[in-house]
Structure 1
Amino acid sequence: MFSIKKSFQILLVVAMALFGFGGLAVHAENLDGSVKDFFEHPGKPAETKADHPDSKEKPASSKSTALTFWDFLRMVFATIFVVALLYVSLRFINKKSRTYQKANFIENIGGTTLGSNRSVQLIKVGKSILVVGVGETIQLLKEIDNQEEYRELLQDYNQKIDHLIQPGDIISKLKQRLAVPDRKTTGFASQLKKQLDEIAASRKQAIEELDEQERDRT
């Protein structure tokens, strides 16, 4: 829990440092006169520009508030850095949780439901895996102590855990979603072409039958 809190605190500080705060302009009141005059005449109020409305003020140069290329580039790099930091934090937290589970010698590595309030669970205990049926009672169905099968199950479990936080998995899912409309479009085009060919063939056959009927009449 401490590592998660510490990771998000570091992330927040880095994001604030990268994006930056808006400039807080603090304008002091413009006073006429010097510090010496103020100390020599403490009872006399200092004259300000508000006391001389006729005095001409130079217009302050207004800074452009448009988004510059550097601001855009900084935002892009900050976003990439935050995503990378989140990914590293998730990997670190995942590694710590798995280390904690291994230290307990008992770990749930998967399972599936078989109906209402019934499931089969795989429980790793030491160097063996127990297949447990969970329902109204808990029953041991099988004990997997074969080292080769044991390593295969653990390897599949670790790959699934690592696959959940891989950035490439998100990209592949987006590619699959983008590829689905292409396949649908291709299927629709081929189906339309097939139907048009069938209509053309039936029309040609009907014309040939009419020609034969006319020849028979003559």
Structure 2
Amino acid sequence: MVSGWDFFKMFLAFAFVIALLYLLLRFLNKRQHGLRSNKLIQNLGGTALGSNRSIQVVKVGERLLVLGVGESVQLLSEVTGDEKEQLIELHSQLNQQTIEPSKMLGQFKWPFLKEKPEQTPKFNQVLKKEMNEMIKKRKQTFEHVEKDENKYE
């Protein structure tokens, strides 16, 4: 028959194993983050546009570049200013959430807890906004070039 003391020892052993897993995951997360931060070139993310076509945001040194990837790689834009800081901050937040042990319990759907909507913009939303602004700038540039061409005709 199982006594209260046996149950208590089993609970302590279970808590010890969970604590070891937590510490191991924390250690691995910090180690991976340290290795990632030393890279000169980092892929911050991207989105697929079709077969063998995508847009990638890449950090090279201190520069943040938007690249079109397909048959070849083309520079679409360079992100600067506040948007650069937002993208880098968003990327670091998403990286911390990938293995962070304290977030692991939040992945389970507890029936008595209500889910809170996410307040931070998703990477795809920020990328889409940046791409829309780039499209507007290109249209303005083309209109400006056409006006200049019409002046000289």
Fold-level match, TM-score > 0.5? yes
Aligned length: 114
Shift of 1:172: 6.0
Partner of 2:96: 162
Match among 38, 49, 56 for residue 121 of structure 1: 56
TM-score, with normalisation over the residues of structure 1? 0.45
Percent identity among equivalent residues?
39
Distance 1:102 1:108 in 2: 11
Shift of 1:158: 1.6
**RMSD of aligned residue pairs (Cα, Å):** 2.6
Which aligned runs of 4 or more in structure 1 are off by greater than 4 angstroms? 176-180
Runs of 5+ unmatched residues, structure 2 = 116-153
- For residues 64-103 of structure 1, the aligned pairs below 5 Å read 66-103=1-38
Distance 2:20 2:87 in 1: 30
SS at match of 1:86: helix
Shift of 1:68: 2.6
Distance 1:83 1:149 in 2: 40
Q: Which has the higher strand share?
A: 2
Partner of 1:144: 79
Partner of 2:87: 153
Larger radius of gyration: 1
Shift of 1:76: 2.0
TM-score, with normalisation over the residues of structure 2? 0.61
Runs of 5+ unmatched residues, structure 1 = 1-65, 181-218
Quick check: 2:67–2:77 contact (8 Å CA) kept in 1? yes
Pair 1:149–1:179, CA change in 2 (3 A) = closer
Quick check: 1:110–1:121 contact (8 Å CA) kept in 2? yes
Quick check: 1:109–1:157 contact (8 Å CA) kept in 2? yes
Distance 2:35 2:77 in 1: 26
Distance 2:114 2:79 in 1: 41
Partner of 1:25: none
Partner of 2:127: none
